Amino acid sequence: MEKSGSIDSLGSKPSSSRQPSVDSLSSTSTSRSDRSGPAKPPSALSSDSVSTSAEFSPELRVKPKATAKKVHRESDKEEPQLLPNESVQDMAHDITYFCPFTGALRGTVMVSNYRLFFKSMDREPAFMLDLPLGVVSRVEKIGNASTRGDVSYGVVCKDMRNLRFAHKQLEETIKKSIFEVLMKFAFPVSNGLQIFAFEYGQVFPENGWKVYDPIAEYKRQGIPNESWRITKVNDHFELCDTYPSTLVVPVNIPDEELKRVAVFRAKGRIPVLSWIHPESQATVTRCSQPMVGVNGKRSKEDEKYLQAIMDANAQSHKLFIFDARPSVNAAANKMKGGGYESEDAYQNAELVFLDIHNIHVMRESLRKLKDVVYPNIEDSHWLSNLESTHWLEHIKLILAGALRIADKVESGKTSVVVHCSDGWDRTAQLTSLSMLMLDGFYRTIRGFEVLLEKEWLSFGHRFQLRIGHGDKNHTDADRSPVFIQFIDCVWQLTQQFPAAFEFNEYFLVTILEHLYSCLFGTFLCNSEQQRLKEEIPKRTVSLWSYINSQLEEFTNPMYVNYSNQVLFPVVSLRHLELWVGYYIRWNPRMKPQEPIHQRHKELLAKRAELQKRVDELQREVTNRSVSSSSERPSSPTRSITPVQTFV
């Protein structure tokens, strides 16, 4: 398999003959700044900038009135085009929105069972704010009534924003109404209501729930084979209730033995295959920590199991165990009955700690980042303020860990086992990122959807707990931006390898928007078992249904399909950058001077036009060669090889 980039820890520079990384792009500053510019505000979320119409996704878009010249004050009462089964719950006039970028604006607030919609006609063009209620983290009353009789409310959001509204202090019932309704529908789980995804009934041409078929995906990887088999031991989630029903395990380990291994692994999360190298048969397997405890317990079944993983790869007589945690944290887990593998107990295994911090450290880091980027950026101390958040340091450690895994599998032809404590946070980050580097299929739009369904959703990343869908308990210690960090890492890869990914930045931003929106069922619940119990595929719409019905919106016009190319990014801090297009997208001053998303669509159209012309010319060449050979039957026939041209 071809390789791109280099291993930063080895200190070598990216090969000039491979896919360019950041180093080779630094000279093309204009195109680079274009790429890193913010994407347009995605589906169902408008930015805080002034706009005549909110930037909705196609099925959500508010169509501007044909008679735009005649602006009547009655248009204050206009509502956005509602979604299927969305209903207005309350509306209030003379509400002031304190926009941090344009100042105070007076207008109308509408609250539905899906969104908060604010519209002001104070200035031209009209200002609109469209906020899915799933984005709301908490609503709080700010102080008491002011001397002017205004009552202020703060709406703290999960997507980096803090919004502030005020209204006149009127009668008791009116004063409470709009914000009581807001809190009721922003936190449906806490108020005994359904999340809107269960009510949304939009029909799309494709059923996104069929994107991922585990048997088909393992078959694509060449599984089952002589060393690995598909087991149904977890068919009813009896072996492990946070694992998927379909698992791949070494062929010489019977199901009864798997059950004994599960006893020794935290939450029963035994080592199972995530990815296998098509040539060397080196594998990426994932699991949770061993239950070693302070007394250093051992399990013969677990030791035999890891030996079987190593033996399944004839190219190497060694196994690398990558523990995502700092070694101090891993040792501390022994006090709780957990721990890590002893190199004495596991023959021919080498243990490596990757020093990635826990969910609490990551949550605090994102909180600091939010303070730095919203609403205003302190330009004079920007770099030191950004450094103090440690956000990019965490991104670097995650990418560096995934890179070491990919390098061991690709260059070292060695199988690896990856785990953290429970195997559903840092483990998912590392396996999915290393697979993204190793396998070009996952760098396509559908392949990336399969990757998320497989490594994150089916393997039990706890989306409900980490995001807190519909739950008012914003101080919950289980909240953490683990998945956001993963998508950030993916964006960093797209910056270093701009032609290696079929999807664009808008695709990544859209995924994160709907991580919070509660419009689709994709990110609901904590495991495959819970989703089946709640009948999520039957009762909700998949995010992939929406995305795959308009692929041109999410396609990278620069994409070149090198399916067997391995990406080795440079992961030093000087090559990483803050994702402005996501974290600072609400600031109108950070928007690109020209609409990049529109330019990409134009490039896609031009690319299709040129490809069509190439195909026509190839047919013309073929026809001419056929006609010329028929005119000269005595002359020897020349074989014409079609030119493989990629535009």
Taking a C-beta distance cutoff of 8 angstroms, is the pair 415, 313 a contact? yes
The token pair that represents 368 in the structure block: 């600091």
Residue 494's nearest CA partner among 12, 43, 25 is 25
Q: Which one of the listed residues 99, 420, 489, 518 is annotated catalytic? A: 420
Cβ atoms within 10 Å of 461's Cβ, excluding its own: 26
Taking a C-beta distance cutoff of 8 angstroms, is the pair 130, 112 a contact? no
DSSP letter assigned to residue 458: I
Q: How far apart are CA 434 and CA 566, in angstroms?
A: 10
Question: CA 402, 407, 413 angle in degrees (round to 5)?
Answer: 130
Helices (H), 209-358: 214-220, 255-264, 300-311, 327-332
The token pair that represents 105 in the structure block: 């604006």
The token pair that represents 297 in the structure block: 């317990």
Angstrom distances, CA of residue 612 to CA of 340, 502, 534, 625, 646: 57, 19, 47, 20, 11
Let me know if 420 is a catalytic residue: yes
Q: How far apart are CA 492 and CA 501, in angstroms?
A: 12
Cβ neighbours of residue 445 under 8 Å, at least 6 residues apart?
A: 502, 503, 507, 547, 548, 551, 554, 555
Sign of CA dihedral 98, 101, 103, 106: negative
User: Cis before residue 271, ω within 30 degrees of 0?
Assistant: no
Q: In the sheet that 162-168 helps form, which strands lie side by side, from edge to edge?
A: 127-132, 115-120, 103-112, 88-99, 162-168, 150-157, 136-142
Residue 546's nearest CA partner among 213, 59, 41, 40 is 59
| Complete DSSP assignment for 524-570 | -SSSHHHHHHTTHHHHS--HHHHHHT-GGGTB-TT----TTEEEE--
Active site (catalytic) residues: 420
